[in-house]
Chains A and B, each alone.
Chain A
Amino acid sequence: MWRYIARRFAYMLFTVWVISLISFILIQLPPGDFATKMVSQMLSGGAREVPPEVEAQLRAQYGLDQPVYVQYATWIGKIIFEGDFGYSFTYKRDAIELIFERLPMTFTISLFSVLFIWVVALPTGIYSAVNKYSLSDYLFTFVGFIGLAVPNFLLALILMFLSYKFSGQALIGLFSPEFADAPWSLAKVLDMLKHLWIPVIIVGMAGTASLIRTMRANLLDELNKPYVETARAKGLSELRLLWKYPVRHALNPFISTVGWTLPTLVGGEVIVSIVLNLPTSGPIILESLMQQDMYLSAGFILVLSTLTVVGTFVSDLLLAWLDPRIRLQ
């Protein structure tokens, strides 16, 4: 098992490295660099003209005249050793502050969505498989298809429209107005939990639908396996048998599915919070991209992806713990 974990861990590190490369490339993509940005900001800030020497000096100061790989090393080094993600022009603050402000909410919503998906998909999938072709199976299947077909941002849009229509305001935020700018307190957390369920359901919808189908299909496969017949021939009751054997077996693919739904969930959270204008990373990422505020957006993408990869790694560990075939390797 330790070899398995070590290998997964190495893969994780490698993936994070690739992510950092992608993020760095994103910074390099738009025309111009930090220095040109600075200059244009000075110009719009009232400076009449900025002499080219100043621009060159800026470039030297930030190491932008160095070869690309040195720039990469500087950038990633600062992030790892100083937690310095660079400076955001749009918000005129350090990127790290914004990341710390917004990212926790994104992950709160994503993790609650994982929970929501599990709590709904597991029993529904099992029920659907055991009562194959029953009325409720068809119903769940149909609802599942709808859940897959309605993209989460449209769902958010529609819910927002409905709430506007019936209550006169777009009610979907994370906090009640009196808590929105208040410092964190127990009351604020409770207030957040009260509001959280709408984005959580929206974000988790598609995942729930697909996981119900996965669980149903897996379980249907398992229900026909010979070991089920063996257990039945021992005299086990149907319910005990179901939970002890096929469900246990079907759980493995289920857990690894959770590992790779996490990236989709995080992506979904980003777009949903853009639509609902929630105070999470989504709106900031979009805004910074539109403004080509690349240090900020690259920082967000780097941290977001890294945390997602860590989440996938955790689901790998869970799988190893659950499945003796991996554990005893």
Chain B
Amino acid sequence: MDAVAQQPELEPTWGAEADDDLKLEVATQWQLMWWKFRKHQLAMAGGAVVIFFYILALGAEFFAPKLFTWYDKNYVYAPPQQIHLIRDGQLAPFVYGYKFERDPKSYKKTWLVDEETIIPIGLFVSGEPYKILGLIETDIHLIGPLDQDDPFYLMGADKSGRDVFSRIIYSARISLSVGLVGVFISMMLGIVLGGLSGLLGGAVDNIIQRLIEIMMSIPMLPVWLAIAAVVPLDWSALDVYFIITILLALTTWTGLARVVRGKFLSLREDDFILAARLDGAPGMRLIFRHMLPSFYSHVIASLTLLLPGMILAETALSFLGVGLRPPVVSWGVMLQETQKVAVIAIYPWLLYPALAVIIVVLAFNFLGDGLRDAADPY
């Protein structure tokens, strides 16, 4: 047909539209995912909170008014102070000081707010010296009393007069990194075992599947408890930390392994893998160059959903006293003090670490949920 050739000048009528179509088509997978993720407002908020907490954890020395080991025996169980912004009509933030009375009979100390004593506070104040990221020495803290000897307990004090607020910030370091390390080990196990299972099939697959089923059908908590409980008491805090992360990883890789296996199974039959195989791509290259990239997004999403579980598990173990031990400080370790209901009834601010756990876990769940939705942008 040469009718086409006769009227080529009419072409431009849809040229502009064609360009737009092209743009839609060349958006990469990651771009598409980002677009889809951006629409998920809760997930965006969750992501922001997660980033916020990791920044807190990294710069704990700076953000926390006190070091986590700092204590003042004079202020055991001091209640939280409230920040007041305006004094005498001017912006001059302060907190009230404490005074205490002794009950004449029980001789117990009770704290009262002392509206006579005013403790001026400020941003970027001098406090205890520390090293930024272990390198640069400084004593600047984000927030604190202008005179560093004044009491300053935004979330109250614990039984040794330590600052709950500062310790919560330091705890983020341990609580959030237990999750990361655990998830990394778990991811390795999940990808390798799930991958082997899906790729090789047959007997290997069967064995790994049985293993996963066994892991999934045993109530893990008592087993964790048991293993954690037999860790000798003379082990260092670091050793215990490692044991706990490995323990968590060993029991949580199953979910990811299932995802990876399923993906490998379906990918094995996919055309582009067949094409690569016919092209003579060797096995390892096939896995890492062609198969894994096609579901990175799913892996990332599963990992994000795994993290909160790890954080909760560590908190639970430490709370029960079989996880991390002082002087290491994590939210679970802090919550150990709250095991007795009588204690929380009198000093409810000791539950603040629980709030931190809930917020972080919630944020991770929102984030992971959004990621999972976005993982399949097509």
Contacts and interface: CB of A to CB of B under 8 A. Distances in A.
Q: Determine chain B's interface SS by DSSP, over half rule.
A: helix
Given A11-B210, A161-B344, A264-B219, A30 B316 contact: no
B246 interface: no
Contacts of B357: 151, 154
A145 B351 contact: no
A164 B351 contact: no
A301 B217 contact: no
Given A157-B354, A164-B341, A263-B218, A271 B226 contact: no
A15 B226 CA distance: 19
Given A151-B357, A157-B338, A309 B345 contact: no
B222 A285 contact: yes
Contacts of A275: 339
Interface in B335-360: 335, 338-339, 341-342, 344-345, 348, 351, 354, 357-358
Nearest to A265: B219
B315 A271 contact: no
B230 A146 contact: no
A199 interface: no
Interface stretch (A94-102, A117-125, A174-182, A289-297): A289-297
Contacts of A274: 320
B12 interface: no
Contacts of A292: 229-230
A279 B349 CA distance: 29
A289 B229 contact: yes
B361 interface: yes
A26 B230 contact: yes
A30 B231 CA distance: 8
Nearest to B46: A145
Interface string A1-19: 0000000000100110011
6 contacts: A14-B210, A29-B230, A148-B362, A263-B217, A304-B222, A308-B218
Interface of A: 11, 14-15, 18-19, 22, 26, 29-31, 145-146, 148-151, 153-154, 157-158, 160-161, 164-165, 170, 259-260, 262-264, 266-268, 270-271, 274-275, 285-286, 289-290, 292, 297-298, 300-301, 304-305, 308-309, 312
Given A157-B354, A160-B341, A289-B225, 10 more contacts: A15-B217, A26-B227, A149-B365, A153-B316, A157-B351, A263-B217, A268-B221, A285-B225, A286-B322, A289-B229
